[in-house]
Amino acid sequence: MKFVFLIVAVVATVLCEKSRYDNYRVYKIEIKNREQLDAMKYLADTSDSFNFWTQPLHFGSYELMVPPHKFSHFSEMVDNLNMQHELIIKNLQELHDKELPLNKRKADGVMDWEDYQSVETIHSWMDSLQVEFPTFVNVTTIGNSYEGRPMKLLKLSKKAGNRAIFVESHIHAREWIGSATSTWILNQLLRSNVSAVVDLANNIDWYFLPIANPDGYEYTRTNNRNWRKTRSKQSALCYGVDPNRNFGYNWMVPEEITGSTGSSVSPCSDVYSGPYNFSEPECYAIDRFLDAHRGIFDAYLALHSYDHSILYPYGNSRVPVPNDEVLKAVGDESARRLYEKHGIQYRVGNQVFILYEASGNSQDHAYGKYKIPISYTYEMRGSGSYGNFGFFLPPEFIIPNAEEMLEAFLGLVSKAREYGLLATA
Ligand SMILES: [Zn+2]
């Protein structure tokens, strides 16, 4: 048995050379003037060594990953530009190692929230829920990813006539906290005895798509933990499209003041919008599903990391949308409830004001094309008073993050009902 395991291990090592990030540093840099911004934009567009965790589009603070062979280049650069900077992660590989199960606490394939789980474990757990709760849980496959993995969606419906919420998570491959959080909340909806949670489960229909980018997620587990995009082949050298820049509504439409789409036409970029809208089968599957279920959803919630914010449409415009006031009020209540749980303060507002431009994202598509009135992107934990981890939040934070997100959902629903949304049938 040991021998067989050894062979498997050797084969696995040969098949996939896993990227390592030994001694990679992450700096927080402050972009405060035009010269610094232009230099950082140029660096983001041209360097394949430096890696920005969010695209530098405006003045503000950004996290920049610096490989060991670029340490001196980085020091020169920040000196020349007189740019404020702070070392926040000393050795990125150490963070990645912390995410792995230390001692096999359980057999493979068993679902829990002590660790991040594989696509296969999450999908078979969803199937098991359908067996356990056959009267109100239904699991379907809404399409297949580029590499042929199923896009599994779970519907929870306890009675006819409920209004519905769509929860999309883990569309960005490296944002592991997404699927960990949505599955934890789903589990609470099925098993909690807390009356407010039971109310959510009984009086709302829930559609969970825990892993919206299964190829990308698997790739982060086997090859490169820092991967963001899908895995479709785009050119001889570059793979993947940013799926959250590939949706049809306002795809590649620039923001009116900055002229930025928040995406890129370069196939190698982390924010590549794709050769055309819905080039990615993952995004297309979501669109087809929403199209086939027009009019049932009052809310579309996309779970991402990391920023501690609740964003709403549009990602390419500062012009207030017709129900801006409702989105702000419901978002504020969601953030207030979230804060009460563990003291994490979220900001709430229009995507461009709060974070950055991002045309072709799912939140805008749900709102703009399918008129789903409450459409939010939650940027959850990553860096804060609990530590600086970025996309690589250690597993001990899964449950605290999920607990406060359940509160966020409770706050959202209670406030939305004041506006006649998500009303009990
Ligand atoms: Zn994201």
Mean pLDDT by 10 residues, the chain (425 residues): 44 62 93 93 87 87 92 92 93 85 61 94 97 97 98 97 98 98 98 98 98 98 95 94 97 87 90 96 98 98 97 94 97 98 97 89 98 98 94 96 98 98 87
Q: Are residues 36 and 133 in the same domain?
A: no
Whether residue 424 lies inside any domain: the answer is no
Q: Are residues 93 and 167 in the same domain?
A: no
Whether residue 10 lies inside any domain: the answer is no
Q: Are residues 86 and 181 in the same domain?
A: no
216: nearest Cα among 124, 119, 303, 113: 119
Q: How far is the CA of 175 from the centre of ligand 1 (A)?
A: 6
Do residues 396 and 101 touch, judged by C-beta distance below 8 A? Answer: no
Whether residue 111 lies inside any domain: the answer is no
Determine the pLDDT at residue 12: 44
Q: How far is the CA of 116 from the centre of ligand 1 (A)?
A: 17
17 included as an active-site residue = no
Its domain, for residue 79, covers 25-98
Whether residue 113 lies inside any domain: the answer is no
Q: How far is the CA of 4 from the centre of ligand 1 (A)?
A: 39
Whether residue 18 lies inside any domain: the answer is no
Determine the pLDDT at residue 106: 59
372: nearest Cα among 381, 362, 380: 362
Q: How far is the CA of 305 from the centre of ligand 1 (A)?
A: 6
Q: Are residues 164 and 273 in the same domain?
A: yes
Whether residue 11 lies inside any domain: the answer is no
Q: How far apart are CA 167 and CA 406, in angstroms?
A: 12
Q: Are residues 280 and 353 in the same domain?
A: yes
To the question of pTM greater than 0.85 for the whole model, the response is yes
Determine the pLDDT at residue 107: 60
Q: Are residues 47 and 173 in the same domain?
A: no
Q: How far is the CA of 416 from the centre of ligand 1 (A)?
A: 25
Q: Are residues 78 and 141 in the same domain?
A: no
Q: How far is the CA of 172 from the centre of ligand 1 (A)?
A: 5
Determine the pLDDT at residue 55: 84
Q: How far is the CA of 343 from the centre of ligand 1 (A)?
A: 23
Active-site residue identified among 333, 379, 404, 407: 379
Q: How far apart are CA 423 and CA 420, in angstroms?
A: 6
Whether residue 12 lies inside any domain: the answer is no
Q: Are residues 328 and 413 in the same domain?
A: yes
Whether residue 7 lies inside any domain: the answer is no
Q: How far is the CA of 171 from the centre of ligand 1 (A)?
A: 7
Determine the pLDDT at residue 108: 65
